[in-house]
Amino acid sequence: MNRKDFLTSMGMGVASLALLNCVGGCAKSTDGPSSGVSGSSNVDFTLDLNASANATLLANGGYLASNGVIVARTKAGTYIAVQRSCTHENYTLTYQSGSSRFYCPNHGATFSESGSVTQGPASRSLTTYKTQVTGTLLRVYS
């Protein structure tokens, strides 16, 4: 095999892998509204509020994502937790404390702090989780 044939074979191999990756990625992103993405029912983890990684939860309005869950501290100072992904097409949500809601930046769906849909295109509520504070430990569980 000469150099030109070798480079052509390598290029075709790389192109094939790229095509397969693109097709696989596109297939995963077409969940659509009827897919009903829901959160895990098997959640149980603890966050140390003194740890620097969790410092955003010390201030009212702060939030973070951990273990597929968004944990937020409301303006009133209570902790809430919901699934991390939008029920419409599985995009990552953010918490907007000023509006007291969870927001999907992809299609604009919004959810109340209790997880119910307040604006589509999502049609299913978020899975919510219980929270319990003991000293400086915050437990999130289903």
Task: Tell me the domains of the chain and their CATH numbers.
Answer: 39-141 (2.102.10.10)
Q: What is the pLDDT of residues 18-46, one digit of tens each?
A: 444 443 333 333 333 334 566 777 899 99
The three-state secondary structure class of 98 is helix
pLDDT band at 90 (very low <50, low <70, confident <90, very high): confident
Asked whether the predicted pLDDT for residue 5 surpasses 70, the reply is no
The pLDDT of residue 89 is 87
More confident residue, 23 or 118: 118
- Structure tokens given for 3: 């150099």
* Chain mean position to CA 129: 14
**Percent residues over pLDDT 90 in the chain:** 63
Cβ of 36: how many Cβ atoms within 10 Å? Answer: 12
Q: Which residues, including other chains, have CB under 8 Å from residue 68's CB and lie 6 or more apart?
A: 39, 40, 43, 83, 84, 85
The pLDDT of residue 4 is 61
Residue with tokens 């509020």: 49
pTM > 0.85: yes or no: no
